[in-house]
């Protein structure tokens, strides 16, 4: 039935919004890069200051 199409779009929109906010919250709480502390390391800065 064509009258039911807006309900399917609403389900897809809610799924998209929930997955988008889940992605943003995971990126906010789980930091992908761990910064190294440079205060006690007086070496040259030829290495990257982040690691995976």
Residues in the chain: 52
Q: What's the pLDDT at 21?
A: 96
**5: pLDDT strictly greater than 60:** yes
Domain boundaries, the chain: 2-51
Kindly report the pTM of this predicted structure: 0.49
Q: What is the pLDDT of residues 6-46, one digit of tens each?
A: 788 889 999 999 999 999 998 888 876 665 555 655 555 56
Q: What's the pLDDT at 9?
A: 87
Pairing of strands 50-51, 34-35: antiparallel
The answer to whether residues 26 and 12 touch, using CB atoms and an 8 Å cutoff, is: no
């Amino acid at each position: 039935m064509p009258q039911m199409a807006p309900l399917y779009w609403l389900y897809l929109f809610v799924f998209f919004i929930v997955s988008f906010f889940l992605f943003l919250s995971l990126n906010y709480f789980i930091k992908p890069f761990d910064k190294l502390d440079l205060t006690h390391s007086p070496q040259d800065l030829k290495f990257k200051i982040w690691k995976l």
